[in-house]
Chains A and B, each alone.
Chain A
Amino acid sequence: MSVTLVLDVIAGALLLGGAFLAFAAGLGLARFPDVLARTHAATKPQVLGLILVLSGLALRLRGEPIVWMLLLVVLFQMLTSPVAAHMVSRAGYRTGKVRRDLLVADDLGDDLDAAARPAED
C-alpha cells in the first residue's frame, strides 16, 4: 500500500464524483420545467464538479506549475459562472420565460412592482 496508490484511489474517487455531478446536471437540464430550474441544475458541475475533477487531475499529475494552472481554471469559473447565471436568469425573468406559478419567493417581481408604482407619500 504505497502513497502513490492511495493518491490514485483518491483521485479516482474525485474524478467519479465530478462525472456524476455532470450526469446529474444533464438529467436536471432534460427534466426541469423552466429556465430558472435548469440554471440551478446546470450550476452543479460548473463549480463543485469542476473542483472535484480538477482536484483528481492535480492528484494524478502532482506537479506544482500544473496545480497553479488548474487553480486558475477554478478561479475563472468561480468568477464567471455566477455572472453568466445571473444574466441568463434576469433576462429570462424580464422577457417572461419564467413560470411565475412555480416560484416560492419573487423578490425581483416585488421590487419591479414597487419601482413601477408612483411614490405616494
Chain B
Amino acid sequence: MIAVLVIGGLLLAAGAVLALVRAERGPTMLDRTVALDTLTIILVCGVAMEAAWSRRVDTVPMLVVLALVGFVGSVTIARFASVEPEGEGRVLTREEVAALEADRLRAMDEDLTSRDEENHGGSAQGEVAR
C-alpha cells in the first residue's frame, strides 16, 4: 500500500504542477478556470488517497464540499468574466500610476477651490423658516 501511496502521490503532484503551470501561463481567463478546476479535482483525489492509506473516514465530507466548490467558480467565471476588455487587468507601469495619482489630486484641489461664495456652507434650501 505504501508503494501505491508514493507512486500515486507523485503522479498527482506532477499533474497538479502541470495544471498550475497552465493556470499561471493563461493566456485567457478560461484557460485558468479549466486549470484550477482540474486542480480542485486533483485535490479531491489527493485527500481520497490519503484517506485510503490511513483508513480514515472523517475527511470524506470534505470531498463532497470540494466537488461542489469547483463548479461554482468555473460557472461564475464563464458567465461573467470571460470577456476581457483590451488593456484591462494589466499591471500599470510606474508612469501610468503617477499620472492617475496626479489626476486624482488635481480633481480634489478643484473640488476644494471651486467653492461658491454666495451659498457658502450650502444653500438656504430646506432650512426651517423663522
Contact = CB atoms under 8 A, between A and B. Distances in A.
Interface of A: 8, 11-12, 15-16, 18-20, 22-27, 29-30, 35, 38-39, 42, 45-46, 49-50, 53-54, 56-57, 60-61, 63, 66, 69-70, 72-73, 76-77, 80-81, 83-84, 87-88, 90-92, 95, 97
29 contacts: A12-B4, A15-B8, A15-B48, A16-B4, A22-B12, A22-B42, A24-B15, A25-B19, A26-B16, A26-B19, A29-B18, A30-B19, A30-B21, A38-B35, A42-B35, A45-B15, A46-B37, A49-B41, A50-B45, A50-B67, A53-B48, A57-B51, A60-B51, A69-B64, A73-B67, A80-B71, A88-B74, A88-B82, A90-B78
Interface of B: 1, 3-4, 7-9, 11-12, 14-19, 21-22, 28, 30-31, 33-35, 37-38, 41-42, 44-45, 48-49, 51-52, 55, 57, 60-61, 63-64, 67-68, 70-71, 74-75, 77-79, 82-83
Contacts of B48: 15, 53-54, 56-57
Contacts of B9: 19
Contacts, number: 168
